[in-house]
Structure 1
Amino acid sequence: MIYYNPLDKKCKSITGGIRQNETAVIKVFGDSSEPCLFVLQKDGSEARNFDMQPTSYGWRFDLTLEEPGLYFYYFRIGNRNAGLGELRELTFSDPVRAYQLTVCSAEYRTPDWFKGGVMYQIFPDRFYKNRDIPVGEGKILHKNWTDTPNFRMNSRGKVLNNDFFGGNLNGIREKLPYLQQLGVSVVYLNPIFQAFSNHRYDTGDFKKIDPLLGTLEDFDALVRDAAAHGIRIILDGVFNHTGDDSLYFNKYGRYPSIGAYQSKESPYAEWYRFIHFPDRYECWWGIDILPAVNELSSYDEFITGENGVLEYWMRRGLGGFRLDVADELPPRFLRNVRRAIKSADPNGIVIGEVWEDASNKISYGERRAYFQGQELDSVMNYPLKEAIIQFVRSKNTKLFRETVCMLLDHYPKCSLDCLMNILGTHDTVRILTALGGVLAFDKEEMNELRLTREQYAIAVERLKAAALLQFTLFGVPSIYYGDETGTEGYSDPFCRKCLDWEHIDEELHAHYARLGKIRGAYGVFREGEYKEVFADEHCVVFERRGEREVVCVCVNLGGGRYGLNFSGDMYDLMNEKAPMRTAQIEPNSWAVYGNIDIR
Structure 2
Amino acid sequence: MFNSRNPAYRDPMGAVPAGTSVHFKINVARDLRCSGARLVVQDDQNGQTENCGMYWCGMSGDTHECWECHYTPQQPGLYFYRFYVDTWRGTLPITKGFGGEGSVDAHGGPWQLTAYDPDFQTPDWMTGGVMYQIFPDRFHNSGQPKENVPADRRLHEKWGEQPDWMPNEKGEVTNSDYFGGDLKGIEEKLPYLESLGVTCIYLNPIFEAHSNHRYNTADYSKIDPLLGTEEDFRSLCDAAHKRGMHVILDGVFNHTGSDSIYFNREKRYPTEGAYNSQHSPYSSWFNFHPWPDHYDCWWNFITLPDVNECNPDYDNYINGETGIIRKWLALGADGWRLDVADELPDPFLENLRAAAKAENPAAVVLGEVWEDASNKEAYGRRRRYFEGKQLDSVMNYPFRNAIIGFLTGADAADMMEIIMNIVENYPPQVTRILMNHIGTHDTERAITMLAGEPLHGHGRHWQSNAHLTRERRKKGLTLLRLAALMQFTLPGVPCIYYGDEAGLEGYRDPFNRGCYPWDKADEGLVEWYRRLARLRAACPCLREGRMEPVMAGDCCMAYIRDDGQERLLVAINAGEQEKPVYLSPEWNDAEILMGRLPDERHALVLGPRDCTVLKWAYPGPEEPKGPAPGPAATAQKDLA
Q: Does TM-score exceed 0.5, indicating one fold?
A: yes
Q: Could you give the per-residue CA deviations for residues 547-590 of structure 1, whole angstroms, max 9, x where no partner exists?
A: 31221111123432234433574222236x89999773323221
- Alignment partner, residue 39 of structure 1: 40
- Alignment partner, residue 200 of structure 1: 214
Q: CA deviation at 1:29?
A: 2.9
Asked whether the equivalents of residues 289 and 295 of structure 2 are also in contact (C-alpha less than 8 Å), the reply is yes
**Correspondence 1:94 to 2:106:** yes
Q: Could you give the per-residue CA deviations for residues 199-232 of structure 1, whole angstroms, max 9, x where no partner exists?
A: 0111111111111001111111110111111110
Asked whether the equivalents of residues 514 and 574 of structure 1 are also in contact (C-alpha less than 8 Å), the reply is no
- Alignment partner, residue 213 of structure 1: 227
Matches within 5 A, 1:485-564: 485-558=502-575, 559=577, 560-564=579-583
Q: CA deviation at 1:70?
A: 1.1
- Alignment partner, residue 296 of structure 1: 310
Return closer, same or farther for 1:448/1:327 CA change in 2, 3 Å cut-off.
Answer: same
- Alignment partner, residue 14 of structure 1: 12
How far apart, CA to CA, are the structure 2 residues paired with 1:230 and 1:110?
18
How far apart, CA to CA, are the structure 1 residues paired with 2:598 and 2:111?
42
Matches within 5 A, 1:474-489: 474-489=491-506
- Alignment partner, residue 118 of structure 2: 106
Asked whether the equivalents of residues 243 and 249 of structure 1 are also in contact (C-alpha less than 8 Å), the reply is yes
Asked whether the equivalents of residues 73 and 100 of structure 1 are also in contact (C-alpha less than 8 Å), the reply is yes
Q: How many residues align?
A: 594
Q: CA deviation at 1:101?
A: 1.0
Q: CA deviation at 1:489?
A: 0.3
- Alignment partner, residue 412 of structure 1: 427
Q: Could you give the per-residue CA deviations for residues 79-114 of structure 1, whole angstroms, max 9, x where no partner exists?
A: 110111011111111134111111111111111111
Asked whether the equivalents of residues 80 and 113 of structure 2 are also in contact (C-alpha less than 8 Å), the reply is yes
Structure 2 unmatched runs, 5+? 61-65, 618-640
- Alignment partner, residue 61 of structure 1: 69
Matches within 5 A, 1:148-227: 148-227=162-241
Q: Could you give the per-residue CA deviations for residues 116-136 of structure 1, whole angstroms, max 9, x where no partner exists?
A: 111100000000111054542
- Alignment partner, residue 271 of structure 1: 285
Asked whether the equivalents of residues 102 and 411 of structure 1 are also in contact (C-alpha less than 8 Å), the reply is yes
Structure 1 unmatched runs, 5+? none
How far apart, CA to CA, are the structure 2 residues paired with 1:152 and 1:15?
53
Return closer, same or farther for 1:127/1:583 CA change in 2, 3 Å cut-off.
Answer: farther
Q: Which moved more, 1:25-34 or 1:530-539?
A: 25-34
Q: CA deviation at 1:391?
A: 0.4
Asked whether the equivalents of residues 557 and 587 of structure 1 are also in contact (C-alpha less than 8 Å), the reply is no
Asked whether the equivalents of residues 119 and 184 of structure 1 are also in contact (C-alpha less than 8 Å), the reply is yes
Asked whether the equivalents of residues 571 and 579 of structure 1 are also in contact (C-alpha less than 8 Å), the reply is no
Q: Secondary structure at the match of 1:280?
A: coil
How far apart, CA to CA, are the structure 1 residues paired with 2:317 and 2:40?
46
- Alignment partner, residue 566 of structure 1: 586
Asked whether the equivalents of residues 117 and 388 of structure 2 are also in contact (C-alpha less than 8 Å), the reply is yes
TM-score (normalised: structure 2): 0.90
- Alignment partner, residue 246 of structure 1: 260
**Correspondence 1:74 to 2:91:** no
TM-score (normalised: structure 1): 0.96
Asked whether the equivalents of residues 194 and 206 of structure 1 are also in contact (C-alpha less than 8 Å), the reply is yes
**Correspondence 1:122 to 2:134:** yes
How far apart, CA to CA, are the structure 2 residues paired with 1:29 and 1:472?
34
Return closer, same or farther for 1:313/1:145 CA change in 2, 3 Å cut-off.
Answer: same
Corresponding letter in the other structure for 1:46 = Q
Asked whether the equivalents of residues 588 and 598 of structure 2 are also in contact (C-alpha less than 8 Å), the reply is no
- Alignment partner, residue 341 of structure 2: 326
Asked whether the equivalents of residues 463 and 511 of structure 2 are also in contact (C-alpha less than 8 Å), the reply is yes
How far apart, CA to CA, are the structure 1 residues paired with 2:252 and 2:604?
49
**Correspondence 1:449 to 2:451:** no
How far apart, CA to CA, are the structure 2 residues paired with 1:399 and 1:236?
33
How far apart, CA to CA, are the structure 1 residues paired with 2:67 and 2:356?
45
Q: Which moved more, 1:58-67 or 1:186-195?
A: 58-67
Instruction: Kindly indicate whether structure 1 or structure 2 has the higher relative contact order, using CA contacts under 8 Å at least 6 residues apart.
Output: 1
Corresponding letter in the other structure for 2:267 = G
Aligned match for 2:380, one of 365, 389, 392? 365
**RMSD of aligned residue pairs (Cα, Å):** 1.9
Aligned match for 1:24, one of 16, 22, 25? 22
Return closer, same or farther for 1:175/1:578 CA change in 2, 3 Å cut-off.
Answer: farther
How far apart, CA to CA, are the structure 2 residues paired with 1:89 and 1:351?
32
How far apart, CA to CA, are the structure 2 residues paired with 1:355 and 1:12?
28
Asked whether the equivalents of residues 430 and 490 of structure 1 are also in contact (C-alpha less than 8 Å), the reply is yes
Q: CA deviation at 1:459?
A: 1.0
Return closer, same or farther for 1:496/1:186 CA change in 2, 3 Å cut-off.
Answer: same
**Correspondence 1:594 to 2:615:** yes
Return closer, same or farther for 1:338/1:580 CA change in 2, 3 Å cut-off.
Answer: farther
Return closer, same or farther for 1:157/1:511 CA change in 2, 3 Å cut-off.
Answer: same
Q: Could you give the per-residue CA deviations for residues 515-543 of structure 1, whole angstroms, max 9, x where no partner exists?
A: 11111122211111111123333222211
Corresponding letter in the other structure for 1:101 = L
Corresponding letter in the other structure for 2:168 = N
How far apart, CA to CA, are the structure 1 residues paired with 2:411 and 2:108?
27
How far apart, CA to CA, are the structure 2 residues paired with 1:111 and 1:63?
30
